[in-house]
Amino acid sequence: MSHYRSNLRDVEFNLFEVNRLGDYLGAPPFEEFDPDTVRAVLAEVDRMAKDEFAASFVEADRTPLELVDGEVKLPDALRRSIDAYYDGDWDLFALPRSLGGAGTPPSVIRAAEEFLVGANPTAYFYVIGTLMAMVIDGVGTPEQSQRFAKPMVERHWGGTMVLTEPDAGSDVGAGVTRATQIEDEIYHLEGVKRFITSGEHDYSENIVHLVLARRDGAGPGTKGLSMFIVPKYLVNDDGTLGERNGVVCTRIEHKMGIRGSTTCELTFGADRPAIGYLVGGVHQGIRQMFHVIEQARMLIGIKSASTLSTGYLNALDYAKERLQGPDLTQARDKTAPRVPVISHPNVRRLLMTQKAFAEGLRALYSYAGWVQDQIRVHPDDDHWERLNDLLLPLVKGYSSEKAYQLLAQSLQVLGGSGFTQDYPMEQYIRDAKIDTLYEGTTGIQALDLFFRKIVRDQGATLTRVGSEVAEFVKGGADGDPFAAERELLGTALEDTQALVGAMVAALMAAQQEPTEVYKAGLHANPLLESLSELLIGWRLLVHAEIATAALEGANPDDRAFYEGKVASGRWFAANVLPGIGLRRARAEGEDGALMELPVEAF
């Protein structure tokens, strides 16, 4: 039986009942889609994800990868999972029409990604060459699209994003990999990169690396970086593969999780020239690379949400079946029958915590997916782009932190059995930890949220979202069953706004006393947490309202689902939203003493 437990019902609830996807399907730019088509497609992705795609989840983790003469051979089971993905043409699902895709709504793409990256993140990381193809097609020259992007799709070539260097780490602008111009857009690259996902493997006949490097004479920092196409094998004018290029995997990382994914050190130009092609013929590397980074951050947030969801659903199945101990009301009766552990208060507390957050993280990424749809539907309104920018660090940063934290509770429900490899929990936890680290650590996401997405925007987008939350708070009529929850949400909104205000005040004070900026830095992560929880609380209460209206006349299965949605919204409002007030108090009382503490005192 598959390890993966999906929640297709909640995915469809988000798409159709909450975000009302059906209202804009059938019209440009999504004229080729209707609700029945979307439901059928998602049902098939869900099936494939649980069956063929998930089948290699364990074997890929248990089979050590080896680097032999610069090559890495993938396990047969993993190859079969990847085959199933390509055999179903799922690589075309997210592509634009220019590359043979269907022009699928982004919200539907995100839903499909939940199934795939939750069922087998290792396998999914090998098939994201299509993302690199989209970037080359979008910002490269027509010749580069023809030579690289199209065969990446048609021949299933691999693709990577290559940023990190051993001595630079998250400070991408400190990279020293050099690019020396040979002629026109052709350069020779020299340097070493590390932590490159899928940087070497034998599934694809070619791997195309998108590499950031600093051309001779370029300035410091990220502005001096350019992006280059560096294929594993050079591509001849007629499309055939030429000789091996001078980019070689010189080491694979042995990791805590996603062990079947080759995470590589790549060396450029050691034994032979590493030929790279300047993307688009322009030196705009970091701007171009952000087309990849933003998609990757969204994917990682979805991976986190999906892993928490399957962890919770596995724990729920176990809790319904595992008999242990009497009911608490009969604890003194030694003859009382054993009950399923879901009958015990503490287990129910653990399960409801996981349920509310699993549904909340899905609600957050689904809302972001809906916003991405609006970018396509309303291309002349830049609000949607700015709102998407605001949401990305929340989806990536908060989801990854919360999923890793709560997967420990999924394991806890299983007791000692959860600590063994008989169940997938321990692998979920190992595989999930990386989500808080790559594509920008949570601290980086938090700084990006405050200094770029809020301050540079002068709070305009945040204010508009806040006004929508405020409208919901005021929206209850007489006899409103969610009056108490609206009040909690209103208080959380005020607390979040005050937290932002305290950080902005520190930033303003830093103009006179530079060290005051530390006070803002100390509370960047709490701001990311607070804003994420505010928006999740809002979305879950919207869900609860919709579910309440749908309860009348619902069949038994739907009734249980809708009752669960109401319970999640109420629980989140009562148990999570009040915590934002504590973060506000800490920010307003911040004295900066932590930054004055001598290093020796730690």
Count of positions (residues) in the chain? 602
What is the Cα–Cα distance from 391 to 453, expressed in whole angstroms? 9
Q: Which residues are 197's β-sheet partners?
A: 263
What is the Cα–Cα distance from 6 to 4, expressed in whole angstroms? 6
- 143 is an active site residue: no
The conformation of residue 289, written as its DSSP 8-state character, comes to H
> How is residue 83 written in tokens?
């085959």
DSSP characters over 335-352: TPPP-BGGGSHHHHHHHH
Phi/psi for 20 (5° steps) reads 50, 50
Helix axes 425-433 and 399-413, enclosed angle (nearest 10): 160
Q: How many CB atoms lie within 10 A of CB 331?
A: 10
Cα diameter, the chain = 86
Q: With contact defined as beta carbons under 8 Å apart, do 227 and 285 qualify? A: yes
User: From the centroid of its chain, how far is CA 547?
Assistant: 27
What is the Cα–Cα distance from 207 to 291, expressed in whole angstroms? 19
What is the Cα–Cα distance from 211 to 266, expressed in whole angstroms? 11
Q: 29 preceded by cis ω (within 30°)?
A: yes
What is the Cα–Cα distance from 457 to 446, expressed in whole angstroms? 15
Q: Reduce the secondary structure of 375-391 to three states and give it as a string.
A: HHHCCCCCHHHHHHHHH
Q: Which of 190, 439, 485, 533 is catalytic?
A: 439
Q: With contact defined as beta carbons under 8 Å apart, do 470 and 480 qualify? A: no
What is the Cα–Cα distance from 539 to 127, expressed in whole angstroms? 32
Phi-psi region of 459 (alpha: psi -120 to 50; beta: other; left: phi over 0): left
What is the Cα–Cα distance from 487 to 294, expressed in whole angstroms? 35
Percentages of the chain per state (helix, strand, coil), in multiples of 5:
60, 10, 30
The conformation of residue 506, written as its DSSP 8-state character, comes to H
> How is residue 186 written in tokens?
């052709």
Q: How many CA atoms lie within 13 A of 408 on its CB side?
A: 5
Sign of CA dihedral 294, 295, 298, 303: negative
Q: Which residues participate in catalysis according to the annotation?
A: 439
